[in-house]
């Protein structure tokens, strides 16, 4: 593995860690209706479990409601059950093939819990970033040991890996801060 490939590889891994954080944060409920809230919902359909988005169309007609338009009438009860089992704190109201999910306002206590959870996700991501940095530094040591790079080049590349880690760590902080503001906005 050469040094350019190593840097690119580390950057891709860190980008992936950031995307995972983004995906986890989308699942956190803010006071606003969002179809992303239902990403984790699976439905028993045609003998297997399927994501809700494959059996219904999702929309948000207003800031406090999510509409689930089930395509197959026989699937309505399975979809209701899937939403209930997902334990999102939403109560489905069925009207034919349309299921309405009113989004209740978050209590102050629940908002604080969600902020804590967002910070935990952020910390988990930072741990992943540090592990990626460690792997990168170990690969650099191996390159130096195998005489592919010189000692001072190893030091320079090590600093670049640290800078990359710091950059992604500050991106994590900024994403978490933004999500915290979103959650705490009433």
Give the pLDDT mean for 156-172.
Answer: 94
| CATH number for the segment(s) 35-102 | 3.30.1360.40
CATH for 3-27+107-184 (1.10.3720.10, 3.40.50.2300, 2.40.50.100, 1.10.132.20): 1.10.132.20
User: What's residue 108's pLDDT?
Assistant: 87
* pLDDT mean across residues, the chain: 88
Q: Which two tokens stand for residue 120?
A: 């935990």
Percent of the chain with pLDDT over 70: 97
pLDDT in tens, 10-29: 999 999 999 999 988 887 76
Q: Residues near 35 by Cβ (< 8 Å), separated by ≥ 6?
A: 58, 59, 60, 66
User: Which of the four pLDDT bands, split at 50, 70 and 90, describes residue 1?
Assistant: low
What is the C-alpha separation between 66 and 14, in angstroms, rounded? Answer: 33
Residue 186 has pLDDT above 70, yes or no: no
CB 40 within 8 A of CB 151: no
Per-residue DSSP letters for 130-173? Answer: HHHHHHHHHHHHHHHHTTSS-HHHHHHHHHHHHHHHHHHHHHHH
Residue 67 φ/ψ region, left for φ over 0, alpha for ψ in the -120 to 50 degree band, beta for the rest: beta
pLDDT in tens, 88-146: 778 888 988 899 988 887 788 888 888 999 999 999 999 999 999 999 999 999 988 88
Residue 180 has pLDDT above 80, yes or no: yes
């Amino acid at each position: 593995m050469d040094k350019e490939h190593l840097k690119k590889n580390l950057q891709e891994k860190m980008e992936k860690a950031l995307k995972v954080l983004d995906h986890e944060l989308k699942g956190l409920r803010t006071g606003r209706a969002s179809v992303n809230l239902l990403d984790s919902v699976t439905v028993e359909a045609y003998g297997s479990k399927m994501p809700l988005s494959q059996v219904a169309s999702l929309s948000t007609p207003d800031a406090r409601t999510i509409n689930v338009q089930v395509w197959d009438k026989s699937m309505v009860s399975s979809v209701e059950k899937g939403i209930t089992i997902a334990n999102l704190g939403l109560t489905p109201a069925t009207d034919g093939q349309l299921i309405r999910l009113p989004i209740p306002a978050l209590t102050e206590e629940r908002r604080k819990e969600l902020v804590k959870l967002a910070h935990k996700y952020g910390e988990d991501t930072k741990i992943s970033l540090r592990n990626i940095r460690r792997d990168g530094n170990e690969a650099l040591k191996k390159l130096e040991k195998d005489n592919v790079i010189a000692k001072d080049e190893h030091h320079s590349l090590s600093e670049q890996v640290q800078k990359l880690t710091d950059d992604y760590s500050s991106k994590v902080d900024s994403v978490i801060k933004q999500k915290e503001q979103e959650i705490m906005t009433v």
